[in-house]
């Protein structure tokens, strides 16, 4: 999920990870590995390959983490953007288990790395995946599967426990990921850049790649002001990669995800939301958590065309009021957005496209853990010959449909939200109907007991 978890004040408290002055590529260069894109995945690839002894250069068209990577909620947990049940249906249990293990290793990598960075603000507060509808049997089955087949550290929350923590009638059951944690995503990103530079990586900003030639042993990469040669090229760009690889860009549906952070809400916020970690619903509509003690960060609206974040402030306020009416009318201090690349199949694109040409892209709603696992896998694939990246081979590059795909994506998003709203409304109506029926039966039982008691009384004179 790509939304920033930091405020300007928090970001200013991390001098150890402050970004150095930007440096352009102005002289021709020869390296072992050239990474195109200085986001989370690209910097992780660069850091890990440099630690293994390779010479590495990173080319970034603007500046480190200028897009989605610096605008992330900061929630870290295992798993992918595709439901594990769907992965099992497509790949089988064993294959899915290996993918899950990789996702857990990615989360562990972020935990270890962030723990050593000043300003990363690692918080082990867990994550709660709540259900908009009453599907207790399905939740129990999912919990059993995650525990027995994947060794996941999860627990089920019944409706009463969910509503004790979240004062709303919109949620029923939940899956609690107790080992999920949260970091300051912006400082984590800048920290990766600092670690990479300390390991010998040369990061060149404002150095857009014009073209590259991936055939032959030594690949050739051209920028506007200099050329670079490398044994391996890693495409770690998002939907803005553009000219260097239009084929890759065409496989990504651009999605703008908007979020906002409220003004301080006082003690009423903790009364309404008693869970300290992140909360996300099973339909992927809302994602929120408390930050700085009394402010609420909320991500919800999304579009397949760029929009003004300020215009979505009203939608965020409405959504908060709908889910937590006890908060009343909240004021949103600021709104922002990040652009992610969503693949048709919903999984990230990780692996070797042809000898020496690698891809780490399409992370969409995957989360920080997948950028970490992609960086590790590609680094090990390049230098150690580790071929576990082939686990992602079933998820090939698939054309996203161009403008027609963006229209379809917006329609599907709207339909998903409407369907979720209708399903939730129906579930709440059924709950109220069941409560009314229980109350009616209780009244009838009480009346019968009263009548039976009167029948036992002795008759009067």
Of 400, 423, 438, which residue is a domain's last? 400
Residue-number span of the structural domain to which 30 is assigned: 1-115+183-252+343-400
Q: Are residues 365 and 415 in the same domain?
A: no
Q: Are residues 189 and 224 in the same domain?
A: yes
Contacts of 317 (CB under 8 A, 6+ apart): 260, 329, 330, 331, 332
Q: Are residues 396 and 422 in the same domain?
A: no
pLDDT at residue 208, as a whole number:
92
Phi, psi dihedrals of residue 23, rounded to the nearest 5°:
-130, 125
Structure tokens at 253: 């549906």
Residue burial 65-83, b: 16+ Cβ < 10 Å; e: rest: bebbbbbbbbbbbbbbbbe
Q: Are residues 14 and 38 in the same domain?
A: yes
Q: Are residues 348 and 411 in the same domain?
A: no
- Model's pTM, two decimal places? 0.84
The Cβ of residue 339 has, within 10 Å, a number of other Cβ atoms equal to 17
pLDDT at residue 421, as a whole number:
53
Q: Are residues 35 and 95 in the same domain?
A: yes
Residue 375 covered by a domain: yes
Q: Are residues 418 and 394 in the same domain?
A: no
Q: What is the CATH number of the domain that holds 231?
A: 3.50.50.60
Residue 322 covered by a domain: no
In terms of Cβ atoms closer than 10 Å to its own Cβ (0-12, 13-18, 19+), residue 88 is: middle
Q: Are residues 385 and 422 in the same domain?
A: no
The SS3 call for residue 281 is: strand
Please spell the DSSP secondary structure of 206-244, one letter per residue: S--EEEEE--SSSEEEEESS-EEEEEEEEE---TT--TT
Q: Are residues 198 and 103 in the same domain?
A: yes
Q: Taking a C-beta distance cutoff of 8 angstroms, is the pair 74, 288 a contact? A: no
Residue 19 covered by a domain: yes
If we measure between CA atoms, which residue out of 67, 361, 24 comes closest to residue 203?
24
pLDDT at residue 9, as a whole number:
33
Residue 296 covered by a domain: no
Residue 391 covered by a domain: yes
Question: Distance between alpha carbon 387 and the CA centroid of its chain, in Å?
Answer: 26
The continuous run of DSSP H or E covering 290 comes out as strand 287-291
Q: What is the pLDDT tens value at each position of the chain, 461 positions in all?
A: 444 333 333 333 333 444 455 689 999 999 999 999 999 999 999 999 999 999 999 999 999 988 777 677 889 999 998 889 999 999 999 999 999 999 999 999 999 999 998 777 788 889 999 998 887 767 777 888 899 889 999 999 999 999 999 999 999 999 999 999 999 888 999 999 999 999 999 999 999 999 999 999 999 999 999 999 999 999 998 877 766 777 788 888 888 888 999 999 999 999 999 999 999 988 778 999 999 999 999 998 788 888 888 888 999 999 999 999 999 899 999 998 888 888 888 899 999 999 999 999 988 777 789 999 999 999 999 999 999 999 999 998 765 555 554 444 444 454 455 554 555 555 555 556 666 666 766 766 776 677 776 555 554 44
Q: Are residues 390 and 407 in the same domain?
A: no
Residue 33 covered by a domain: yes
Phi, psi dihedrals of residue 181, rounded to the nearest 5°:
-145, 175
Please spell the DSSP secondary structure of 316-375, one letter per residue: HHHHHHHH-GGG-SPPEEEEEEEEEEE-SSSS-EEEEEETTEEEEE--TT--HHHHHHHH
Of 400, 416, 444, which residue is a domain's last? 400
Instruction: Compute the 3-state secondary structure of the chain and give helix, strand, coil in percent, each to the nearest 5.
Output: 40, 20, 35
Please report where in the chains the tokens 């300020």 appear, as a residue. 310
Please report where in the chains the tokens 């896998």 appear, as a residue. 377
Residue 328 covered by a domain: no
If we measure between CA atoms, which residue out of 128, 32, 121, 116 comes closest to residue 77?
128
Please spell the DSSP secondary structure of 396-436, one letter per residue: ------HHHHHHHHHHHHHHHHHHHHHHHHHHHHHHHHHHH
Cα–Cα distance, 228 to 209 (Å, whole number): 10
Q: Are residues 366 and 447 in the same domain?
A: no
Q: Taking a C-beta distance cutoff of 8 angstroms, is the pair 356, 29 a contact? A: no
Radius of gyration of the chain (CA): 25
Number of domains in the chain: 2
Q: Are residues 368 and 443 in the same domain?
A: no
Backbone torsion region of residue 113, taken as left when φ is above 0, otherwise alpha when ψ lies between -120 and 50, otherwise beta? alpha
Residue 129 covered by a domain: no
């Amino acid at each position: 999920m790509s939304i920033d978890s930091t405020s300007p004040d928090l970001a200013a408290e991390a001098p150890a990870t402050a970004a150095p002055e930007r440096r352009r590529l102005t002289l021709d260069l020869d390296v072992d590995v050239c990474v195109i894109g200085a986001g989370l995945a690209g910097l992780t690839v660069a850091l890990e390959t440099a630690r293994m002894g390779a010479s590495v250069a990173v080319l970034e068209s603007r500046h480190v983490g200028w897009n989605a990577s610096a605008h992330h909620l900061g929630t870290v947990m295992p798993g992918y953007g595709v439901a594990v049940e769907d992965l099992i249906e497509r790949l089988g249990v064993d294959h899915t288990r290996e993918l899950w293990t990789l996702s857990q290793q990615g989360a562990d990598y972020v935990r270890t790395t962030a723990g050593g960075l000043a300003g990363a603000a690692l918080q082990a507060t867990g994550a709660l995946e709540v259900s908009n509808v009453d599907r207790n049997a399905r939740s129990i089955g999912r919990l059993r599967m995650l525990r027995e087949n994947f060794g996941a550290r999860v627990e089920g929350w019944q409706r009463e426990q969910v509503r004790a923590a979240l004062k709303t009638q919109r949620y029923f059951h939940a899956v609690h990921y107790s080992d999920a944690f949260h970091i300051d995503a912006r400082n984590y990103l800048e920290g990766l850049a600092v670690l990479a530079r300390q390991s010998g990586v040369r990061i060149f900003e404002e150095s857009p790649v014009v073209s590259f030639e991936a055939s032959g042993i030594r690949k050739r990469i051209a920028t506007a002001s200099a050329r670079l040669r490398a044994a391996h090229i890693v495409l770690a760009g998002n939907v803005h990669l553009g000219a260097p690889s239009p084929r890759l860009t065409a496989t990504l549906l651009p999605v703008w995800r908007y979020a906002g952070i409220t003004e301080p809400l006082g003690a009423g916020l903790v009364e309404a939301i008693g869970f300290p970690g992140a909360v996300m619903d099973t339909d992927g509509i809302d994602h929120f958590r408390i930050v700085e003690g009394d402010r609420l960060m909320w991500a919800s609206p999304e579009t397949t065309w760029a929009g003004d974040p300020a215009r979505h402030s009203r939608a965020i306020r409405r959504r908060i009021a709908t889910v937590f009416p006890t908060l009343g009318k909240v004021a949103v201090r600021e709104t922002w957005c990040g652009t992610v690349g969503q693949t048709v199949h919903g999984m990230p694109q990780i692996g070797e496209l042809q000898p020496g040409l690698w891809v780490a892209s399409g992370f969409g709603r995957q989360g920080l853990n997948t950028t970490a696992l992609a960086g590790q896998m590609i680094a090990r694939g390049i230098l150690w010959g580790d071929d576990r990246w082939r686990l992602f081979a079933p998820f090939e590059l698939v054309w996203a449909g161009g403008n027609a795909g963006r229209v379809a994506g917006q329609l599907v998003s709207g339909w998903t939200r409407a369907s979720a709203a209708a399903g939730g409304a129906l579930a709440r109506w059924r709950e109220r109907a069941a409560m009314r029926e229980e109350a009616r039966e209780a009244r009838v039982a009480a009346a019968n007991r009263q009548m039976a008691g009167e029948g036992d009384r002795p008759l009067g004179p």
